[in-house]
Chain A
Amino acid sequence: DAGVIQSPRHEVTEMGQEVTLRCKPISGHDYLFWYRQTMMRGLELLIYFNNNVPIDDSGMPEDRFSAKMPNASFSTLKIQPSEPRDSAVYFCASSFIGYYGYTFGSGTRLTVV
């Protein structure tokens, strides 16, 4: 298994632009989580899905952030419009609830200038 795959690995964009981050979870996993990591705030849970349905998006910082999971093998996190304070590393993780460990992807390092 290739693990959780995130793309792109690095993204540099200008303030005001739309940014889309992508995640492919491990096949068979029924939970998908989006996290954000900054030096100031550490790892923060943004949103998670169960069987492609969003369960809790209370961690999404603003309406500029949205996430979708159209099928079991793909999820996106979109920021529109992006701002410099959105600069962070964004991680996607998946798990099978019968096994409590999460598998994280390598992350997307987002820089908004």
Chain B
Amino acid sequence: DAKTTQPPSMDCAEGRAANLPCNHSTISGNEYVYWYRQIHSQGPQYIIHGLKNNETNEMASLIITEDRKSSTLILPHATLRDTAVYYCIVEGGGADGLTFGKGTHLIIQP
């Protein structure tokens, strides 16, 4: 069974905030939430990760609910170059390899 559930696709207008949801209702206490993205024909790119606190870096913000059963990745000002497949992954630290699901295909509209 998949550890995460993501919508298969989403649209967002250029310049607006893109909010990508992820459900992970079976997450355990020692598991992190990771986000990666894959732009067409490129390798996946690490975006951000978190355990239970909200996190922010130069690329995005990660909001994790208090019960940790869901999270949202926020791209504050989406550009056309943010069009990609976004993967939400739940794993216990990454040392055993990350399991990628189908992700969300985010399309930024001009």
Contact = CB atoms under 8 A, between A and B. Distances in A.
Interface residues of A, number: 24
Given A104-B44, A105-B43, A33 B97 contact: yes
Nearest to A55: B96
A93 B94 contact: no
Query: Main SS of the interface on chain B?
Result: loop
Interface in B38-96: 42-46, 49, 93-96
A31 B44 CA distance: 16
24 contacts: A4-B43, A31-B95, A42-B100, A42-B101, A42-B102, A43-B100, A45-B99, A48-B96, A50-B95, A56-B96, A59-B97, A97-B95, A100-B32, A100-B94, A101-B49, A101-B94, A102-B44, A102-B94, A102-B98, A104-B43, A104-B44, A105-B43, A106-B43, A107-B43
Interface residues of B, number: 19
Contact of A101 (B46, B97, B100): B46
Contacts, number: 50
A91 B95 contact: no
Main secondary structure of the interface of A (DSSP, over half): strand
Interface of B: 32, 34, 36, 42-46, 49, 93-102
Interface of A: 4, 31, 33, 35, 42-43, 45, 48, 50, 55-56, 59, 91, 93, 95, 97, 100-107
B43 A93 contact: yes
Contacts of B43: 4, 91, 93, 104-107
Contacts of A106: 42-43
Given A31-B95, A102-B46, 16 more contacts: A4-B43, A42-B100, A45-B97, A45-B99, A48-B96, A56-B97, A91-B43, A95-B94, A97-B93, A97-B95, A100-B49, A102-B94, A102-B98, A103-B46, A104-B45, A107-B43
